[in-house]
Structure 1
Amino acid sequence: MEINQLKQELIEYSKEIGVQKIGFTSTDTFETLKQRLMVQQSLSFHSGFEKGTIEERTTPTKLMPKAQSIISIALAYPSRMKDAPKSRKGDRRGIFARASWGKDYHDVLREKLNLIGEFLQKKLDGVACKAMVDTGELSDRAVAKRAGVGFVGKNCSLITEEYGSWVYLGELITNVPFEPDEPIEEGCGDCNICVDACPTGALVQGGQLNAQRCVAYQTITKSFLPDEFREKLGNRLYGCDTCQIVCPKNKGKDFHLHPEMEPDPELAKPKLIPLLKMSNREFKEKFGYMSGSWRGKKPIQRNAIVALAHYKDETALDTLEELMHKDPRPVIRGTAAWAIGKIGRQDAYEMIEKAMEKESDEDVLFEMEKGLEFLTQKI
């Protein structure tokens, strides 16, 4: 079959299986990305979750020696929740970032990419494919940008004309020599809203992110949350959407094209106190299908405690006191003590002092001291 004809047939097929955008690019080395990654590494701006060496992340043929092209796909996800429950006094809720609403997007995109791979294998003999979504070596954004799917904005998100940045990305490396598409040159111009709006200044400048200062990164760490980020967390349990919410390119963009991506409001915006009482099994049963559950319940519960402190929710104190005394995890015990001090009810000082008598972990004791200090400042 003639390759250009196959490309057109594949584009049509991608629409049939619910892919919003598809683009094609070469397997040439991503030279600009390579230089940027070297700078990021030298400045310690990388998150540490990246897979592979810089060479593997920028040279597709290192991952598939006979690769000749890369197919990039984008699926649009919702930016607004229908019937979102309200967070009320005494019944406070946290929030998962939009990229964690509905079924884990890694699974959704892999299904689409596998269908595309099967389509090619039926059309041509000897087709080889390698699918990647987010956790692979290649940068989904760099591939999508070069494949003409969109441009990378100052908020480091891939922005499409039709769907803004509310898109999931994935790619398929293949040995089929498709004609590459042209990249889109459009950019952000003078707009700097996202850089100015970033809660922690993680967007050092347009297009450069210090991942370790990003709130989204901080929500998935497992140790004690540094004090400066506790103040910025608000009620976020997983991820951060600020730089996308403020983007003018996202104004009015809200698409509900995939039923499996629709959020369950009670899970995407869950009640905080019940979340703290969940067993591992309950957490997996409820939240396991969402991408935001991948680090387990500990970071989510730690963030829920910080959110309750943010709300100064006195109705949470009994639960927090129990965690401070009985939870086997030092991070949870210590964060609970800190939150009790932050909420600052009259009997909070006595609560923390009593727990200190039995506590032996130095990090937890340090958090307890912080809690007492909040209370001392109130007197």
Structure 2
Amino acid sequence: MTLAQLKDELIAYSKTIGVDKIGFASADPFLQLKDRLLTQQQLGFQSGFEEPDIEKRVNPAKVLTEARTIISIALAYPSKMSNPPKNTKEDRRGIFCRASWGRDYHDVLRDRLKKIEQFLLERIPEAKTVSMVDTGELSDRAVAERAGIGWSGKNCAIITPEFGSYVYLGEIITTIPFDPDTPITEQCGTCTKCIDACPTDALVQGGQLDSNKCIAFLTQTKDFLPDQYRKKLGNRIYGCDTCQQVCPENKGKDFHHHPEMEPDPEIAKPKLIPLLTISNRDFKEKFGHVSGSWRGKKPIQRNAIIALAHFKDQKALPVLADLAKKDPRPVIRGTAAWAIGVIGSLEEKKLLNQLKNIEKDDKVLGEIEKGLNILENKE
């Protein structure tokens, strides 16, 4: 069997296991990416979640000696849910981003990548392979771009002609020297809708993101959310889809190819108040299978408190008061105290002053002061 025949067989096989798109790229170093990553590092635009070693991110041979090819795969995920629950005054709800609907995409893609590796090793036993999804050394987007999966959009997502940017990406580095595919020409043109719509101006310019301003990143942090971003959060409790939603290439794109990616509406759009008191066990049982749970429940609960403040939901005040008094976590106590100031009336001044007298943590005391100042400005 020739390598061309094997490539054709692999493409056909990939369709049978639920891979929506597959492409092949050379394993040469990503020199342009290296320049971009160094610039990001110098500007302080990195999130801290990336592989810290830039050489590993740009040189596949640092991950797999004698690397010759990188196989990139894409799986399309839904952009709409059927019968989404309504966000009512009686039951305020948060929202997980679309990439966190359904089963954790890391598990889904690893399953497909493992099957492709087995397929190749059955035919070429001496071949070597290394696969990765999202948290690996390589840049999924840079690989997908080189492999012809799509182009790198101004919103810093890979945009495919077939599925828009609503795709998960993964890759396999291999020693098998497949012929590479042709990259797709960038097609954003003069459009700047994603840059204009970004709630926090995190898209500095087309293709450049200041991760520290990005709501998708901010929802995953564990400390107090900086003041200037709290109003921007809205009811997002994990991730942000704004730059995808406004993209013309995503108009009408909604694919339901994979049953495991279908959202449970009560998980994708959960009621906010019950989140505040959910136990670790119940959180893991209900949300543990979605990618948005990877940082644990604290960031989700902090974001839920901010979302309730966004809605000025007075029904949340008793629970917030309880959290501000008793929760062992300073971030939750403090954010709850701030939210009481946003939601409450002058009656809540007494409560916040009581909290001020018993609180020992300086950061929490700062949040109590913020809450009191907000209440005083309502007079």
TM score, norm. by length of structure 1: 0.99
CA drift at 1:335: 0.2
CA drift at 1:128: 1.2
Number of residue pairs the alignment of both structures matches: 379
1:1-379 to 2 correspondence within 5 Å? Answer: 1-379=1-379
Given that 2:152 and 2:186 are in contact with CA atoms closer than 8 Å, whether structure 1 keeps it comes out as no
1:133-177 CA-to-partner distances (Å, cap 9, x unmatched) read 000010000000000000000000000000000000000001111
Given that 1:153 and 1:159 are in contact with CA atoms closer than 8 Å, whether structure 2 keeps it comes out as yes
Given that 1:69 and 1:174 are in contact with CA atoms closer than 8 Å, whether structure 2 keeps it comes out as yes
Given that 1:314 and 1:345 are in contact with CA atoms closer than 8 Å, whether structure 2 keeps it comes out as no
Given that 1:131 and 1:171 are in contact with CA atoms closer than 8 Å, whether structure 2 keeps it comes out as yes
- Report the identity percentage: 64
Structure 1 residue matching 2:18: 3-state secondary structure: coil
CA drift at 1:16: 0.5
Given that 1:323 and 1:332 are in contact with CA atoms closer than 8 Å, whether structure 2 keeps it comes out as yes
Given that 2:153 and 2:186 are in contact with CA atoms closer than 8 Å, whether structure 1 keeps it comes out as no
* Aligned equivalents of 1:124, 1:60: Cα separation in 2: 20
* Aligned equivalents of 1:138, 1:11: Cα separation in 2: 22
Runs of 5+ in structure 2 lacking a partner? none
* Aligned equivalents of 2:290, 2:347: Cα separation in 1: 38
Structure 2 residue matching 1:357: 3-state secondary structure: helix
Moved over 4 A (4+): none
Given that 2:20 and 2:76 are in contact with CA atoms closer than 8 Å, whether structure 1 keeps it comes out as yes
* Aligned equivalents of 2:309, 2:124: Cα separation in 1: 59
* Aligned equivalents of 2:93, 2:350: Cα separation in 1: 27
CA drift at 1:358: 1.0
CA drift at 1:90: 2.7
* Aligned equivalents of 1:169, 1:108: Cα separation in 2: 11
* Aligned equivalents of 1:82, 1:351: Cα separation in 2: 42
Given that 1:78 and 1:262 are in contact with CA atoms closer than 8 Å, whether structure 2 keeps it comes out as yes
- 363 and 52 in structure 1: CA distance in 2 versus 1, 3 angstrom threshold: closer
* Aligned equivalents of 2:257, 2:275: Cα separation in 1: 30
* Aligned equivalents of 1:349, 1:280: Cα separation in 2: 32
One-letter amino acid of the structure 1 residue matched with residue 378 of structure 2: K
One-letter amino acid of the structure 1 residue matched with residue 247 of structure 2: C
CA drift at 1:344: 2.1
Runs of 5+ in structure 1 lacking a partner? none
